[in-house]
Amino acid sequence: MTSKLAQEFLEEHRHLTRGLYQIREALEGGDLEAASDQAEQLDRLVGAHMEFEEQVFYPELVDRLGGTFVSRLYEEHEEGQTAVKTLLTDPTVALDPTAKKQLLGQVQTALDHAISCGTLLSHIGDLDPVDEERVMQRWQEIHRRSPRWTELPARSEDA
């Protein structure tokens, strides 16, 4: 994978990690407005990254890491996506202690995923030049469209 793509991929992971951390902190502090605002930013900023992972990156990992492992990656995305959707549609749900605990669990799962998933990049770092070019073209195409995270379909059942 090109160093430019790797750098951009890792930079987006830093944004995702930082945003999820800020959501968690805001929820723990009872600041639902800040949590919702951060969810809005993530929804806009990381949708293309998530789509790239789900449509291009994760399928490349199945042969190397196994379908069960990759299925879990999709599930972790879905948990984060669900938390973002909740915060965008009705952040006051977090006023209920049980719902808040569930929401924090979803955010923590997504945060743990973001922290560890960036290291998976090395698994497709040895693509031949033709595959590397194909991956880069898909990256660019998805980023041009710039989808929102909440617009992506749930994909856990596809893995």
The 10s digit of each residue's pLDDT in 43-59 is: 999 999 999 999 998 99
What is residue 125's predicted lDDT score, i.e. its pLDDT?
65
The 10s digit of each residue's pLDDT in 81-131 is: 999 999 999 999 999 999 999 999 999 999 999 988 867 877 666 667 788
Residue 4: count of CB within 10 angstroms of its CB: 10
What is residue 3's predicted lDDT score, i.e. its pLDDT?
67
State mean pLDDT over 53-80: 92
Fill in the DSSP letter of residue 126: T
Helix pair 67-89, 3-28: axis angle to 10 deg:
50
Token reading at 146: 């710039």
Residues with Cβ within 8 Å of residue 122, at least 6 apart in sequence: none
CA atoms 6, 146, 65, 134: torsion sign: negative
Residue ranges of domains in the chain: 3-148
Confidence of residue 154 (pLDDT cuts 50, 70, 90): confident
d(CA 2, CA 20): 27
Q: How far apart are the first and last CA of the chain?
A: 22
pLDDT at 40 over 70: yes
CA distances from 53 to 6, 24, 87 (A): 12, 23, 23
What is residue 1's predicted lDDT score, i.e. its pLDDT?
52
The more confidently predicted of residues 52 and 2 is 52
